[in-house]
Structure 1
């Protein structure tokens, strides 16, 4: 029998889950409303939350850190939001920071420069720079600077994967490649012809998929990857994760591709929230991957 508190909470969570489901079909307004409702229901009480940390010179080069109380040598996770590289922000993903911090991880939730004013590779360079900041400052929050993980949703998953599998970006940012223990891509567009979609404004004019897509850039010493796919995703085609998996395996990189039933492009990230784990297995998959690959 659910507790009285849970019984009071269930109707609101049901409406929130419905809102997240409808958001995939109703556009950014519905998605933003559901996201705001979710964040309003999230309490960070007891966590160490440090906001608006500047990791680079642009006004969008800021991140928030969510740390467990009295953390010691904890894994460090950087989360990158989605939004077709043209929208979204860290403030809409408070629920991710709270959820992963409650799991015991020092978690950074970042903003990055947006298209069309800033095209590839600006947002990849921002991801690598934010990861450098998290590594440099990990110890202040009780994190281990050599126990780094990078995750992202949708466009943010592209950023997370590209920033790590392409040897250029970590090297340019000054992040030792061995410091990154794993990458978690959630519903990411890793392998598609952007020239056929509105998102082409996020990429250089005249650019080609062979020059830009992460599945063309895999280095053989990349860390393990977890690629999460929403079964009912109608925004990012599952072939993206299939192609990325093939490229990683071809390079000898450990990879797990998991299709999560019933979830769509929005609910797959919503299910990272502790109060929405009934939607699907996103949070469990992420935690299990980090626990398997973290330094001990």
Structure 2
């Protein structure tokens, strides 16, 4: 387990600048506007399935991604909100580290409920495994990643083999997975907005990522805000990390003091990287670099 210290004052100043744009646009749009895209080339609106929301964007490092690792990133939004375009800053940031990034949309409540959005997530991963070579990515170095509800999606794709199996894949096809502030062990459901998404009060135990851990699942990087007020880090990140270790699965567990549930993903963006070294941790995990003490 790795704990990180408080963020410096210059990082707080950067956060104030970004949040100052709230009157004109959302925080995510502000982050996109302030995040440079010169290190990558984006191809957007690629269909990975038949539904209107079965679209994804691909971000390739400038100069091509030949042989590059690949990360499929799922955004959060409590399974009832979210658009891939709002997370361009994530795609650009990953591409700046030599990673081919894929950001899909997936169907949301109330159009669908659990587990339909997991089928979408697995379908996007399967598309990536088949097609990413056309964009220079190496499908043998494929990772899934997500924040909040998106981290749940990534976890379920990586841990429950039934989803990828529908598309001729196995979790063993993944090099690893990354969760940012994910809910992995949240029964009984307390959030009233989340309850109908998971068929409350008849939420199946199989909906919980922690119930799908065995020794065959991919290694994980789990990052959380140490004082997360929305998704309890000890119950979710901590318990899942412990269960992975007890099954002999490699896991790196990191907690940052200088971020909240929402600014954790924001710290990937260039203006907010002083809040926490989230991008560095992801880069190290994906590219196999040793972590700094």
TMscore range, shorter length = 0.7 to 0.9
Q: Could you report, residue by residue, the CA deviation over 1:194-217 in whole angstroms, capped at 9, with x for unpaired residues? A: 532221121134433522100011
Structure 1 residue 216 corresponds to structure 2 residue 214:
no
What does residue 224 of structure 2 align with?
229
Equivalent residues of 1:85, 1:202 under 8 A apart: yes
Q: What's 1:41 paired with?
A: 34
Q: RCO higher in 1 or 2 (8 Å CA, sep ≥ 6)? A: 2
Residue 15 (structure 2) aligns with = 17
Aligned residues: 278
Contact 1:106 1:143 in 2 (8 A): yes
Correspondence for 1:92: 86
Checking the alignment, whether the CA contact within 8 Å between 2:195 and 2:201 is kept in structure 1 is no
Hey, what does 1:250 align to over in structure 2? 246
1:270 aligns with one of 262, 266, 272: 266
Of 132-141 and 198-207, more deviation after overlay is shown by 198-207
| Alignment partner, residue 126 of structure 1 | 120
Q: Provide the C-alpha distance between the structure 2 equivalents of 1:231 and 1:122, rounded to a whole number of angstroms.
A: 31
Contact 2:59 2:101 in 1 (8 A): yes
User: What secondary structure is seen at the aligned counterpart in 2 of 1:162?
Assistant: helix
Answer whether contact 1:75 1:147 (CA < 8 A) is retained: yes
Match of 2:137 among 119, 131, 143: 143
Tell me, what secondary structure is at the counterpart of 1:193? coil
Q: Residues 15 and 271 of structure 2 are in contact (CA less than 8 Å); yes or no, is this contact kept in structure 1?
A: no
Aligned equivalent of 2:96, options 90, 93, 102: 102
Secondary structure at 2:230's aligned position in 1? coil
**Alignment match of 2:56 (pick from 56, 63, 69):** 63
**How many angstroms does 1:19 deviate by?**
6.8
Which residues of 2 match residues 139-178 of structure 1 at below 5 A?
139-178=133-172
TM-score under structure 2 normalisation? 0.88
Which segments of 5 or more consecutive residues in structure 1 lack a partner in the other structure?
1-9, 24-28
What is the CA–CA distance in structure 1 between the aligned matches of 2:267 and 2:126, rounded to whole Å?
28
Superposed displacement of residue 22, structure 1: 9.9
Q: Residues of 2 paired with 1:250 and 1:79: CA distance?
A: 27
Inter-partner Cα distance in structure 2 for 1:205 and 1:170: 25
What's 1:196 paired with? Answer: 190
Change (3 A) 1:258 1:105: same
Q: Larger helix proportion, structure 1 or 2?
A: 1
Q: Relative to structure 1, is the Cα distance of residues 46 and 228 closer, same or farther in structure 2, using a 3 angstrom cutoff? A: closer
Q: 1:165 to 1:20 in 2, by over 3 A?
A: farther
When structure 1 is superposed on structure 2, of 169-178 and 225-234 the one drifting more is 169-178
What is the CA-CA distance between 1:48 and the residue it aligns to? 2.2
Give deviations 1:180-230, integer Å, cap 9, x for gaps: 001000000110125322211211344335221000112321111011010
**1:261 matches 2:254:** no
SS at match of 1:164: helix
Unaligned runs of 5+ in 2: 1-8
RMSD between aligned residues: 2.4
